[in-house]
Amino acid sequence: MARARTGDQALVREINLTVVLRALRERSPISRASLASLTGLNKATVSSLVEELIGAGLVIESGFPKAARVGRPGVLLELNPAAGCIFGVEIGVGFVSVIATDFAASVLWRGEENTRACRSQEVVIPRAIGMVREALARVSGSFPRVLGAGVGVAGLVDVSSGRVLFAPNLGWQDVPLREAFEAELDFPIYVDNEANMAALGETCFGVARGARSVLYVSAGVGLGGGIVLDGQLMSGAAGVTGEMGHMTMLPDGARCNCGNRGCWETLVSQNAVLRRVRELVSSGAGSLVADLARGEMEDLTIPQVVEAARAGDEVCRRALRETAEWLGIGIANLVNLLNPEVVVLGGILSLAGEFVMPVVERVVTERALRWPAESAKLLVAGYGPDAAVMGGVATVYERVLSNPGASLRARRASPPSHPPGRR
């Protein structure tokens, strides 16, 4: 078939394929006729687009509707979970985490390795790639292709080049991370800041699913986040957005890792909570944490603080309350700025959601303008420690939906270098 097509026709078809895929994602199972009325495309066009998507293995026919109606019922369509496998990778502070999923984001394999002993890029990057290879060997045999890997890293990332510009908590500066993965792996690689990826993961598959504008705030070792506007992750002029933790809150406050003083992150992060607990304990307040941490207050963790708070410990409750006040102040500012539909609190502090969220809600109601405050739903992240890896999966998934042609032209899954073990 040597029929020439103009660039415009090819582009329109690509856009229409995306429209059909997104409708399938939101409404499946759905018939061709319902797809046509939902998208406004004519039935012949929908049929032709669906045939192409079925031929490419992205869509399957999944049976007939249960309730028989008058006339011939249309066969139902849905996205094919077996269309391809996806890898989500997180390079965090002290660990690397990898998951493999199908095209429906069901987790098929997961692994995590401790990298506390050495955070250097020469050690951490090959280990992360090795874990992806292991996942590939385990799952790729069941799929016609690998759709890609989304790699989230705890630092500033230039998304367009896939370079880590600065990751103070890893000690990395100007690291060509995507290039390193691409040199070893034969499928598309996407790199972004882990909190940006987590924002997309919660919007695509998690608690904010279906929302068009989402503010994701992740409070962990640092304080970061991601902003989804009109369904798309904001990427910014330099490819760096969501660095909300470095908003100045106290002009003469404590020195931050970024070099500034009084950043929001110095007031709200896991270290900010632990510092408040230690200060209260050393000023003589009695607390259960001294027992939980076996006297080693330097090794105190957020799960221990939450456990003590649940047992009624007033020191831990107060530390969480004070942290939540500052969290609420920053969120109120951002709610005024962005008018989001959903605000999601992620990161390890979300473990303390029952103590933190009521305070945040009160502060946002008190301080933000009434209209954006009333329209913002405040939720705790659904994925917990999996937020960034699921975000990596969401990044690949979104690329396939928005650019199906390129994803399908991507190479088929290479056979594993050694036979996968029996599952």
Q: CB 257 → Zn ion: shortest distance, Å?
A: 6
Judged by CB under 5 A, does residue 244 bind Zn ion? no
Give CA–CA dist 132/156, Å, rounded. 22
Judged by CB under 5 A, does residue 278 bind Zn ion? no
Q: CB 248 → Zn ion: shortest distance, Å?
A: 8
Residue 263 CB contacts under 8 Å (≥ 6 apart), including other chains: 245, 246, 247, 248, 249, 253, 256
Out of 54, 137, 165, 258, point to the residue binding Zn ion (CB under 5 A).
Answer: 258
Residue type present at position 35 = L
Q: 161 vs 260, which CB is nearer to Zn ion?
A: 260
Q: 260 vs 403, which CB is nearer to Zn ion?
A: 260
Q: 109 vs 326, which CB is nearer to Zn ion?
A: 326
Q: 102 vs 265, which CB is nearer to Zn ion?
A: 265
Q: CB 330 → Zn ion: shortest distance, Å?
A: 12
Residue type present at position 376 = A
Quote the tokens at residue 166.
């600065």
224-232 LR contacts (CB < 8 Å, sep 24+) = 224/193, 224/194, 224/195, 225/195, 225/196, 225/199, 226/193, 226/195, 226/196, 226/197, 226/198, 226/199, 226/200, 227/199, 227/338, 227/340, 228/199, 228/200, 228/203, 229/338, 231/203
HSE (CB half, 13 Å, CA atoms) of 81?
Answer: 11
Q: 138 vs 246, which CB is nearer to Zn ion?
A: 246
Name the one residue in this structure whose structure tokens are 């705890």: 154
Residue type present at position 279 = E
CB of 244 within 8 A of CB of 334?
Answer: yes
Judged by CB under 5 A, does residue 260 bind Zn ion? yes
Quote the tokens at residue 93.
């502070």
Q: CB 222 → Zn ion: shortest distance, Å?
A: 8
Judged by CB under 5 A, does residue 263 bind Zn ion? yes
Q: 263 vs 413, which CB is nearer to Zn ion?
A: 263
User: How many other C-beta atoms lie within 10 A of the C-beta of residue 420?
Assistant: 15
- The piece of 51-59, 216-224, 244-252, 402-410 that touches Zn ion (CB under 5 A) is 244-252
Out of 138, 178, 246, 399, point to the residue binding Zn ion (CB under 5 A).
Answer: 246
Q: CB 258 → Zn ion: shortest distance, Å?
A: 3
CB of 226 within 8 A of CB of 198?
Answer: yes
Q: CB 155 → Zn ion: shortest distance, Å?
A: 13
Q: CB 156 → Zn ion: shortest distance, Å?
A: 12
Backbone angles phi, psi at 75, to 5 degrees: -65, 145
CB of 29 within 8 A of CB of 62?
Answer: yes
Judged by CB under 5 A, does residue 256 bind Zn ion? yes
Q: 32 vs 246, which CB is nearer to Zn ion?
A: 246
Q: How many residues bind Zn ion, per CB under 5 A?
A: 5
Q: CB 291 → Zn ion: shortest distance, Å?
A: 34
Judged by CB under 5 A, does residue 16 bind Zn ion? no
Q: 243 vs 313, which CB is nearer to Zn ion?
A: 243
- The piece of 70-78, 240-248, 316-324, 402-410 that touches Zn ion (CB under 5 A) is 240-248
The residues binding Zn ion (CB under 5 A) are 246, 256, 258, 260, 263
